[in-house]
Amino acid sequence: MIINHPLLGPRDAQEFTYLGDAALIDRPDWQGEDAQSRFYEYLYLRDNPAGTHRELWFHEGGDRSWLVVTRNTVSHEILQVELARDVARAKGRSK
Amino acid sequence: MRYSGLRVIKEALTGHKGWKPVWRDPEPQPHYDIVIIGGGGHGLAAAYYLAREFGQKKIAVVEKGWIGGGNVGRNTTIIRSNYLLDGNEPFYEFSLKLWEGLEQDFNYNAMVSQRGILNLIHTDAQRDAFTRRGNAMILNGADAELLSADQVRAEYPFLNFDNARFPIKGGLAQRRGGTVRHDAVAWGYARGADSRGVDIIQNCEVTGFRMENGRCLGVETSRGFIGAGKVGCAVAGSSGRLMAKAGMRLPIESHVLQAFVSEGLKPVMPGVITFGAGHFYCSQSDKGGLVFGGDIDGYNSYAQRGNLPTVEDVCASGIALIPALGRVRLLRMWGGLMDMSMDGSPIIDRTDIDGLYFNGGWCYGGFKATPASGFAFAHLLATDRPHKTATAYRFDRFRRGYMIDEKGVGAQPNLH
């Protein structure tokens, strides 16, 4: 698989390590009333779709940026690559 | 029709005209007591034991393709019970005991070959860990034997013992481990189940579940609705895809694992060996091909095929262990879908939906578990209680903090 890095251009997926579903960006509030059950769901449960999947890849052998890659889990086709930083900021994180 | 040596001779003398198809091809009935989704090893074994051990009638196995076309025909055929943790070891030892009596039990030649499995040791720390694991195995009634480097050398003289980076310091052997002809396992269970009245319905894809007031009433399929008192899902690899139709999110990711076969060689590999410094395992099939594999590719996939970096990594690990492999040509390779669970251990449990039961999360260790998984799932479906060796395989272990994490890597499925 070739991941088209937003800053560095096309890179071999071998340069990256994989974390999992991009929903892991949205860490629950640890002080919330339902923190315990929400952390259980956050840590252990996955949508695991057959088809389009947004997922986190870390460019370990490169610029060490985190990417959100949208990829088809049935065909391995990569549809979109974004910087995870931009995705998180668009949601209002780390202002 | 029972198989026997006499029967083979009789058929040989009469032109092999007496063999008949070994299972029927029935139309689905409108209602069954128990419907099992997934005609793989685990589903067929569950149906077999339900009919044979638990006296259940009116059972169906529905399979979207043909039986045995999934992971039971895609693995590297290894059986063993060399686990450490209490939640696992009794279960896998139960499975190995069932393997030992399996062929007589279902009167089918599955070519169960207890040629032994050897986990190689490369460091002192690894020897300590393997000694501990061997003791845990013995405490649970399995066999384990710690070998010195010289003892390993006597059995496997061609390994790279004096590698500067990964010298071989010994091994942990389980002599009762070995290999099985995996297709014959599916066929044997299918034949045994069919002869006890189980309907095996192929080319019948489940498209949804019919629910009413939190209860599962049956399955919608490509061949119409099939009502069921209880529905058991045994589709490891595709569990996420199937259970999503029931509105469930699972502690599972689907990943792809590749396996490899070399060209046929003369007998060279007496048993199963595993590399302790990388992820590589190898045995030799009766046809002569070296059967080997390594890590999963590491990203979510439903593709049943992997990518080249893993091929390179597996072959590099193999050559580090067995330099002679460099002269061997790879014949073919393929991928299978793994239910990678959050702690590397399986789930055999009821779901929150009445009448819906789940068997999955086998990671890449499901084949060796086939008999015990089928037995334990049959026990659960018939009695609503977990089998005594499978009490730890519950959904709620993640919520309650009772993970069975053999590798100790936590909730990172691609590392198990």
Question: Which domains are delineated in chain A?
Answer: 2-90 (3.30.2270.10)
pLDDT at A92 exceeding the cut of 90: no
Q: Is B259 helix (H, G, I), strand (E, B) or coil?
A: strand
| Contact between A81 and A22 (Cβ < 8 Å) | no
Residues 6 or more apart in contact with residue B61 via CB below 8 angstroms: B35, B36, B38, B39, B43, B44, B47, B67, B193, B198, B199, B200, B201
**DSSP single-letter state for residue B47:** H
Cβ-Cβ pairs closer than 8 A, A with B, add up to 74
Q: Which CATH number fits domain B31-81+83-108+182-251+343-415: 3.30.70.20, 3.30.110.30, 3.50.50.60, 3.40.1550.10?
A: 3.50.50.60
CA angle B207, B210, B213 (to 5 degrees): 150
pLDDT at A94 exceeding the cut of 80: no
Q: State pLDDT tens for residues B52-75.
A: 999 999 999 999 999 999 999 999
A13 chain-B contacts, CB cut-off 8 A: 299, 307, 309
Parallel/antiparallel/unpaired status of strands B199-201 and B59-62: parallel
Interface of A with B (CB under 8 A): 1, 12-14, 17-21, 37, 40-41, 43-50, 53, 55, 71, 73-76
pLDDT at B360 exceeding the cut of 90: yes
Q: State pLDDT tens for residues B176-235.
A: 999 999 999 999 999 999 999 999 999 999 999 999 999 999 999 999 999 999 999 999
Mean pLDDT of B264-280: 96
Token representation of residue B282:
């190898």
| Contact between B365 and B373 (Cβ < 8 Å) | no
Task: Please state, rounded to an integer, the average pLDDT across all residues of chain B.
Answer: 96
Token representation of residue B249:
């999110």
pLDDT of residue A93: 84
A95 pLDDT band, cuts 50/70/90, is low
- Closest residue to A46, CB basis, from B252, B307, B309: B252
Mean pLDDT of B251-257: 97
CATH superfamily of B117-175+253-341: D-Amino Acid Oxidase, subunit A, domain 2 (3.30.9.10)
Q: State pLDDT tens for residues B124-172.
A: 999 999 999 999 999 999 999 999 999 999 999 999 999 989 999 999 9
Question: Hey, where are the domains in chain B?
Answer: 31-81+83-108+182-251+343-415, 117-175+253-341
pLDDT at B383 exceeding the cut of 90: yes
Residues 6 or more apart in contact with residue B281 via CB below 8 angstroms: B76, B78, B272, B273, B274, B275, B292, B293, B294
Can you tell me the ipTM of this complex?
Answer: 0.95
Sheet strands (E) in B223-329: 224-233, 252-264, 272-275, 280-284, 289-300
A1 chain-B contacts, CB cut-off 8 A: 307
C-alpha to C-alpha distance for B274 and B285, rounded to whole angstroms: 16
- How much of chain B exceeds pLDDT 70, in percent? 100
Residue type, B80: R
pLDDT at B1 exceeding the cut of 90: no
Query: Residue B309's closest chain A neighbor by CA?
Result: A14
Report residue B309 CA to chain centroid gap: 25
Residues 6 or more apart in contact with residue B16 via CB below 8 angstroms: none
| Contact between B290 and B271 (Cβ < 8 Å) | no
